[in-house]
Structure 1
Amino acid sequence: MYCFDLGGKSSGMNAYRARPSNMPWPPIITAAAAVLAVLFGMVVTLPLPDLAALRSIGVLFVLSAIGIDVWAALTLRAAHTTILPTRKSNHLVTTGPFAVSRNPIYCGYLLFLIGLGLIFASAWFLVFAAAAALIIQRYAIEREELHLLAVFGAEFEAYCSRVRRWL
Protein backbone atom coordinates (compact mmCIF):
# COMPACT_ATOMS: atom_id res chain seq x y z
CA MET A 1 0.00 0.00 0.00
CA TYR A 2 1.34 3.40 -1.00
CA CYS A 3 1.52 6.42 1.31
CA PHE A 4 -0.07 8.64 -1.30
CA ASP A 5 -2.60 8.61 -4.08
CA LEU A 6 -1.10 8.33 -7.54
CA GLY A 7 -4.33 9.64 -9.05
CA GLY A 8 -4.75 6.55 -11.20
CA LYS A 9 -1.48 7.24 -13.04
CA SER A 10 1.38 4.83 -13.40
CA SER A 11 4.03 5.71 -10.88
CA GLY A 12 6.94 5.48 -13.29
CA MET A 13 9.07 4.70 -10.25
CA ASN A 14 12.26 4.12 -12.26
CA ALA A 15 12.15 7.76 -13.38
CA TYR A 16 12.23 8.83 -9.74
CA ARG A 17 15.10 6.59 -8.63
CA ALA A 18 17.87 9.05 -9.53
CA ARG A 19 16.32 12.16 -7.99
CA PRO A 20 12.89 13.46 -7.10
CA SER A 21 12.89 16.77 -8.98
CA ASN A 22 14.81 19.08 -11.26
CA MET A 23 13.89 22.21 -9.29
CA PRO A 24 13.93 23.00 -5.57
CA TRP A 25 10.21 23.88 -5.64
CA PRO A 26 9.41 24.20 -1.91
CA PRO A 27 11.63 27.23 -1.13
CA ILE A 28 10.65 28.86 -4.44
CA ILE A 29 6.94 28.33 -3.75
CA THR A 30 7.31 29.60 -0.17
CA ALA A 31 9.16 32.73 -1.27
CA ALA A 32 6.58 33.35 -4.01
CA ALA A 33 3.77 32.97 -1.46
CA ALA A 34 5.38 35.58 0.81
CA VAL A 35 5.91 38.02 -2.06
CA LEU A 36 2.34 37.52 -3.31
CA ALA A 37 0.96 38.06 0.20
CA VAL A 38 2.79 41.39 0.41
CA LEU A 39 1.71 42.46 -3.10
CA PHE A 40 -1.92 41.48 -2.59
CA GLY A 41 -1.86 43.27 0.76
CA MET A 42 -0.74 46.45 -0.99
CA VAL A 43 -3.73 46.27 -3.36
CA VAL A 44 -6.49 44.88 -1.13
CA THR A 45 -6.19 44.74 2.63
CA LEU A 46 -7.24 41.54 4.30
CA PRO A 47 -6.45 42.44 7.90
CA LEU A 48 -6.16 40.28 10.96
CA PRO A 49 -6.69 41.85 14.38
CA ASP A 50 -3.61 43.95 15.09
CA LEU A 51 -2.98 42.69 18.61
CA ALA A 52 0.32 42.51 20.46
CA ALA A 53 -0.55 38.94 21.52
CA LEU A 54 -0.97 37.83 17.89
CA ARG A 55 2.28 39.51 16.89
CA SER A 56 4.03 37.71 19.77
CA ILE A 57 2.59 34.39 18.64
CA GLY A 58 3.75 35.23 15.12
CA VAL A 59 7.29 35.79 16.36
CA LEU A 60 7.15 32.45 18.21
CA PHE A 61 5.92 30.76 15.01
CA VAL A 62 8.75 32.27 12.95
CA LEU A 63 11.37 31.30 15.53
CA SER A 64 9.87 27.80 15.81
CA ALA A 65 9.90 27.45 12.03
CA ILE A 66 13.58 28.34 11.92
CA GLY A 67 14.30 25.93 14.77
CA ILE A 68 12.43 23.08 13.07
CA ASP A 69 14.23 23.67 9.79
CA VAL A 70 17.66 23.81 11.46
CA TRP A 71 16.87 20.65 13.47
CA ALA A 72 15.75 18.84 10.31
CA ALA A 73 18.84 19.97 8.39
CA LEU A 74 21.16 18.82 11.17
CA THR A 75 19.33 15.48 11.36
CA LEU A 76 19.76 14.95 7.61
CA ARG A 77 23.41 15.96 7.81
CA ALA A 78 24.05 13.54 10.69
CA ALA A 79 22.49 10.78 8.56
CA HIS A 80 24.84 11.65 5.67
CA THR A 81 22.05 12.35 3.22
CA THR A 82 21.00 15.38 1.24
CA ILE A 83 18.76 18.22 2.30
CA LEU A 84 18.34 19.30 -1.34
CA PRO A 85 15.05 18.22 -2.93
CA THR A 86 16.85 17.81 -6.28
CA ARG A 87 19.30 15.16 -5.11
CA LYS A 88 19.03 11.42 -4.53
CA SER A 89 18.47 10.36 -0.93
CA ASN A 90 21.17 8.05 0.42
CA HIS A 91 19.42 7.14 3.66
CA LEU A 92 15.84 7.08 4.85
CA VAL A 93 15.80 9.40 7.87
CA THR A 94 13.10 8.56 10.43
CA THR A 95 14.50 10.18 13.57
CA GLY A 96 14.43 13.68 15.03
CA PRO A 97 11.69 15.83 13.49
CA PHE A 98 11.18 13.12 10.84
CA ALA A 99 9.71 10.89 13.56
CA VAL A 100 6.83 13.40 13.88
CA SER A 101 6.34 14.49 10.26
CA ARG A 102 7.61 13.12 6.96
CA ASN A 103 8.05 16.75 5.84
CA PRO A 104 9.18 18.84 8.82
CA ILE A 105 11.06 21.34 6.66
CA TYR A 106 7.93 22.09 4.64
CA CYS A 107 5.92 22.32 7.87
CA GLY A 108 8.50 24.88 8.97
CA TYR A 109 8.04 26.85 5.75
CA LEU A 110 4.28 27.02 6.32
CA LEU A 111 4.67 27.91 9.99
CA PHE A 112 6.99 30.72 8.87
CA LEU A 113 4.35 32.11 6.48
CA ILE A 114 1.64 31.91 9.12
CA GLY A 115 3.94 33.63 11.61
CA LEU A 116 4.57 36.46 9.14
CA GLY A 117 0.81 36.82 8.69
CA LEU A 118 0.37 37.24 12.44
CA ILE A 119 3.29 39.66 12.75
CA PHE A 120 2.05 41.86 9.89
CA ALA A 121 -1.65 41.33 10.74
CA SER A 122 -2.34 40.23 7.17
CA ALA A 123 -4.57 37.27 6.35
CA TRP A 124 -3.04 37.18 2.86
CA PHE A 125 -0.12 35.25 4.36
CA LEU A 126 -2.58 32.65 5.66
CA VAL A 127 -4.30 32.40 2.27
CA PHE A 128 -1.01 31.98 0.45
CA ALA A 129 0.32 29.55 3.11
CA ALA A 130 -2.68 27.30 2.36
CA ALA A 131 -2.08 27.63 -1.39
CA ALA A 132 1.64 26.92 -0.90
CA ALA A 133 0.82 23.76 1.08
CA LEU A 134 -1.31 22.43 -1.76
CA ILE A 135 1.27 23.30 -4.42
CA ILE A 136 4.19 21.90 -2.40
CA GLN A 137 2.31 18.67 -1.85
CA ARG A 138 1.54 18.31 -5.55
CA TYR A 139 4.86 19.40 -7.06
CA ALA A 140 7.34 18.36 -4.38
CA ILE A 141 6.04 15.93 -1.77
CA GLU A 142 4.33 13.53 -4.16
CA ARG A 143 7.46 13.38 -6.34
CA GLU A 144 9.71 12.97 -3.30
CA GLU A 145 7.53 10.14 -2.02
CA LEU A 146 7.79 8.37 -5.39
CA HIS A 147 11.56 8.80 -5.19
CA LEU A 148 11.74 7.42 -1.65
CA LEU A 149 9.48 4.52 -2.58
CA ALA A 150 11.66 3.71 -5.60
CA VAL A 151 14.85 3.86 -3.53
CA PHE A 152 13.73 2.39 -0.18
CA GLY A 153 10.63 0.32 -1.07
CA ALA A 154 9.01 -1.50 1.84
CA GLU A 155 11.10 0.40 4.40
CA PHE A 156 9.57 3.67 3.18
CA GLU A 157 6.07 2.15 3.14
CA ALA A 158 6.50 1.08 6.78
CA TYR A 159 7.66 4.60 7.67
CA CYS A 160 4.58 6.05 5.94
CA SER A 161 2.33 3.82 8.01
CA ARG A 162 3.89 5.23 11.22
CA VAL A 163 4.41 8.91 10.42
CA ARG A 164 2.00 11.41 8.87
CA ARG A 165 2.82 13.42 5.76
CA TRP A 166 2.32 16.80 7.45
CA LEU A 167 1.49 16.60 11.16
Structure 2
Amino acid sequence: MTVHSDQPFDPDNDKCGPGVRVPPPMMVAGSILLGVGLNLIVPLTLSTLVYWPGVFLMAVAVCLALACVWQFWRAKTHIEPWQPTSRIIVSGVYRFSRNPIYLAMFVFQVGLGLWLLNGWVVLCGSVTLRLLSYFAIRKEEAYLLAKFGDDYQTYMQQVRRWF
Protein backbone atom coordinates (compact mmCIF):
# COMPACT_ATOMS: atom_id res chain seq x y z
CA MET A 1 0.00 0.00 0.00
CA THR A 2 1.49 3.35 -0.97
CA VAL A 3 0.85 6.82 0.36
CA HIS A 4 -0.73 7.80 -2.95
CA SER A 5 -3.51 5.21 -3.03
CA ASP A 6 -7.13 5.75 -2.03
CA GLN A 7 -6.57 3.55 1.01
CA PRO A 8 -5.31 5.08 4.28
CA PHE A 9 -1.61 4.51 4.85
CA ASP A 10 -0.79 1.85 7.44
CA PRO A 11 2.82 2.38 8.62
CA ASP A 12 2.82 -1.06 10.27
CA ASN A 13 1.96 -2.77 6.97
CA ASP A 14 4.34 -0.87 4.69
CA LYS A 15 5.38 -3.07 1.78
CA CYS A 16 5.69 -0.62 -1.12
CA GLY A 17 7.65 2.39 0.11
CA PRO A 18 7.10 5.83 -1.37
CA GLY A 19 6.11 4.63 -4.83
CA VAL A 20 8.93 6.20 -6.84
CA ARG A 21 8.51 4.52 -10.22
CA VAL A 22 11.56 5.71 -12.17
CA PRO A 23 14.90 5.14 -10.44
CA PRO A 24 16.49 8.55 -9.74
CA PRO A 25 19.78 7.57 -11.43
CA MET A 26 17.76 7.02 -14.62
CA MET A 27 16.34 10.54 -14.31
CA VAL A 28 19.86 11.93 -14.02
CA ALA A 29 21.08 9.80 -16.93
CA GLY A 30 18.20 11.06 -19.06
CA SER A 31 19.07 14.65 -18.25
CA ILE A 32 22.74 14.04 -19.08
CA LEU A 33 21.77 12.41 -22.39
CA LEU A 34 19.56 15.41 -23.15
CA GLY A 35 22.58 17.65 -22.62
CA VAL A 36 24.77 15.49 -24.83
CA GLY A 37 22.10 15.47 -27.54
CA LEU A 38 21.63 19.25 -27.39
CA ASN A 39 25.39 19.65 -27.69
CA LEU A 40 25.33 17.63 -30.91
CA ILE A 41 22.73 20.00 -32.35
CA VAL A 42 24.01 23.31 -30.97
CA PRO A 43 27.47 22.96 -29.42
CA LEU A 44 27.98 24.81 -26.15
CA THR A 45 31.64 24.12 -25.52
CA LEU A 46 33.20 25.30 -22.27
CA SER A 47 36.74 26.49 -21.64
CA THR A 48 39.35 23.85 -20.85
CA LEU A 49 39.88 25.74 -17.57
CA VAL A 50 36.83 23.94 -16.13
CA TYR A 51 38.18 20.42 -16.81
CA TRP A 52 39.90 19.92 -13.42
CA PRO A 53 37.16 21.57 -11.36
CA GLY A 54 34.82 19.08 -13.06
CA VAL A 55 37.01 16.17 -11.96
CA PHE A 56 37.02 17.58 -8.43
CA LEU A 57 33.22 17.92 -8.35
CA MET A 58 32.75 14.37 -9.60
CA ALA A 59 35.10 13.07 -6.88
CA VAL A 60 33.23 15.04 -4.20
CA ALA A 61 29.93 13.68 -5.50
CA VAL A 62 31.15 10.07 -5.42
CA CYS A 63 32.44 10.52 -1.85
CA LEU A 64 29.13 12.05 -0.76
CA ALA A 65 27.15 9.23 -2.38
CA LEU A 66 29.36 6.58 -0.75
CA ALA A 67 28.89 8.25 2.65
CA CYS A 68 25.12 8.03 2.12
CA VAL A 69 25.28 4.39 1.08
CA TRP A 70 27.33 3.66 4.20
CA GLN A 71 24.72 5.37 6.41
CA PHE A 72 21.86 3.38 4.89
CA TRP A 73 23.85 0.18 5.33
CA ARG A 74 24.58 1.00 8.99
CA ALA A 75 20.92 1.88 9.61
CA LYS A 76 19.86 -1.42 7.98
CA THR A 77 17.22 0.24 5.83
CA HIS A 78 16.56 0.37 2.11
CA ILE A 79 18.31 3.00 0.00
CA GLU A 80 16.08 2.35 -3.02
CA PRO A 81 13.17 4.83 -3.08
CA TRP A 82 10.72 2.17 -4.26
CA GLN A 83 11.33 0.04 -1.15
CA PRO A 84 9.92 0.65 2.35
CA THR A 85 12.17 2.32 4.88
CA SER A 86 12.45 1.34 8.51
CA ARG A 87 13.87 4.58 9.92
CA ILE A 88 14.75 8.18 9.23
CA ILE A 89 18.48 8.83 8.96
CA VAL A 90 19.30 12.15 10.62
CA SER A 91 23.03 11.83 11.34
CA GLY A 92 26.15 12.27 9.24
CA VAL A 93 25.51 14.10 5.98
CA TYR A 94 21.79 13.93 6.68
CA ARG A 95 22.30 16.61 9.35
CA PHE A 96 22.91 19.10 6.53
CA SER A 97 20.65 17.89 3.72
CA ARG A 98 17.51 15.76 3.59
CA ASN A 99 18.54 14.58 0.11
CA PRO A 100 22.32 14.25 -0.02
CA ILE A 101 22.21 11.37 -2.50
CA TYR A 102 20.24 13.49 -4.96
CA LEU A 103 22.58 16.38 -4.24
CA ALA A 104 25.49 14.07 -5.09
CA MET A 105 23.81 13.09 -8.37
CA PHE A 106 23.33 16.74 -9.30
CA VAL A 107 26.92 17.70 -8.37
CA PHE A 108 28.21 14.70 -10.35
CA GLN A 109 26.25 15.83 -13.41
CA VAL A 110 27.63 19.36 -13.16
CA GLY A 111 31.14 17.95 -12.71
CA LEU A 112 30.68 15.63 -15.66
CA GLY A 113 29.51 18.52 -17.84
CA LEU A 114 32.58 20.53 -16.85
CA TRP A 115 34.88 17.55 -17.44
CA LEU A 116 33.33 16.99 -20.87
CA LEU A 117 33.47 20.76 -21.52
CA ASN A 118 29.76 20.44 -22.35
CA GLY A 119 27.73 23.44 -21.22
CA TRP A 120 24.46 21.73 -22.05
CA VAL A 121 25.09 18.92 -19.55
CA VAL A 122 25.75 21.57 -16.90
CA LEU A 123 22.62 23.54 -17.82
CA CYS A 124 20.51 20.39 -17.88
CA GLY A 125 21.32 20.07 -14.17
CA SER A 126 18.25 22.26 -13.67
CA VAL A 127 16.21 19.56 -15.44
CA THR A 128 17.69 17.00 -13.06
CA LEU A 129 16.68 19.05 -10.02
CA ARG A 130 13.13 19.38 -11.29
CA LEU A 131 12.82 15.69 -12.17
CA LEU A 132 14.14 14.60 -8.78
CA SER A 133 11.98 17.11 -6.91
CA TYR A 134 8.76 16.23 -8.71
CA PHE A 135 9.07 12.49 -9.31
CA ALA A 136 11.10 11.36 -6.28
CA ILE A 137 11.39 13.85 -3.42
CA ARG A 138 7.72 14.86 -3.41
CA LYS A 139 6.64 11.21 -3.12
CA GLU A 140 9.33 10.36 -0.58
CA GLU A 141 8.43 13.29 1.67
CA ALA A 142 4.71 12.42 1.60
CA TYR A 143 5.57 8.80 2.41
CA LEU A 144 7.93 9.70 5.26
CA LEU A 145 5.41 12.15 6.74
CA ALA A 146 2.71 9.47 6.63
CA LYS A 147 4.99 6.83 8.12
CA PHE A 148 6.94 8.83 10.72
CA GLY A 149 4.61 11.78 11.35
CA ASP A 150 5.90 14.40 13.79
CA ASP A 151 9.43 12.96 13.83
CA TYR A 152 9.83 13.58 10.11
CA GLN A 153 8.03 16.93 10.30
CA THR A 154 10.53 18.08 12.95
CA TYR A 155 13.41 16.85 10.79
CA MET A 156 12.01 18.76 7.78
CA GLN A 157 11.90 21.94 9.84
CA GLN A 158 15.49 21.50 11.05
CA VAL A 159 17.23 20.39 7.83
CA ARG A 160 17.08 21.87 4.37
CA ARG A 161 15.96 19.84 1.38
CA TRP A 162 19.17 20.30 -0.61
CA PHE A 163 21.97 22.00 1.37
Distance 1:72 1:31 in 2: 20
Distance 2:22 2:79 in 1: 10
Distance 1:12 1:157 in 2: 23
Structure 1 residue ranges without an equivalent (≥5): 1-9
- State the Cα distance separating 1:152 from its structure 2 match: 0.5
For residue 138 of structure 1, what is the aligned residue in structure 2?
134
TM-score w.r.t. length of structure 2:
0.89
Identity, % of aligned positions? 29
**Aligned Cα root-mean-square deviation (Å):** 1.9
For residue 62 of structure 1, what is the aligned residue in structure 2?
58
Structure 2 residue ranges without an equivalent (≥5): none
For residue 47 of structure 1, what is the aligned residue in structure 2?
45
What do residues 106-162 of structure 1 show as CA deviations (whole Å, max 9, x unaligned)? 000000000011111111112211111011101100100001001100000010111
Indicate how the Cα distance of structure 1 residues 47 and 13 shifts in structure 2: closer, same or farther if over 3 A, else same: farther
Q: What code does the residue aligned with 2:86 have?
A: N
Q: What code does the residue aligned with 1:48 have?
A: L
Residues 7-22 of structure 1: matches in 2 within 5 Å?
Answer: 14=8, 18=14, 19-22=17-20
For residue 23 of structure 1, what is the aligned residue in structure 2?
21
Indicate how the Cα distance of structure 1 residues 138 and 11 shifts in structure 2: closer, same or farther if over 3 A, else same: farther
| Preserved CA contact (<8 Å) 1:14 1:150 | no
Distance 1:133 1:16 in 2: 30
- State the Cα distance separating 1:88 from its structure 2 match: 0.8
Residues 119-130 of structure 1: matches in 2 within 5 Å?
Answer: 119-130=115-126
| Preserved CA contact (<8 Å) 2:20 2:136 | no
What do residues 67-118 of structure 1 show as CA deviations (whole Å, max 9, x unaligned)? 1101001101101111001011101100111111000000000000000111
For residue 93 of structure 2, what is the aligned residue in structure 1?
97
Count of residues in correspondence between the two structures: 156
Q: Which runs of 4+ in 1 moved over 4 A?
A: 10-13
Distance 1:159 1:96 in 2: 14
- State the Cα distance separating 1:43 from its structure 2 match: 1.4
For residue 73 of structure 1, what is the aligned residue in structure 2?
69
| Preserved CA contact (<8 Å) 1:25 1:139 | no
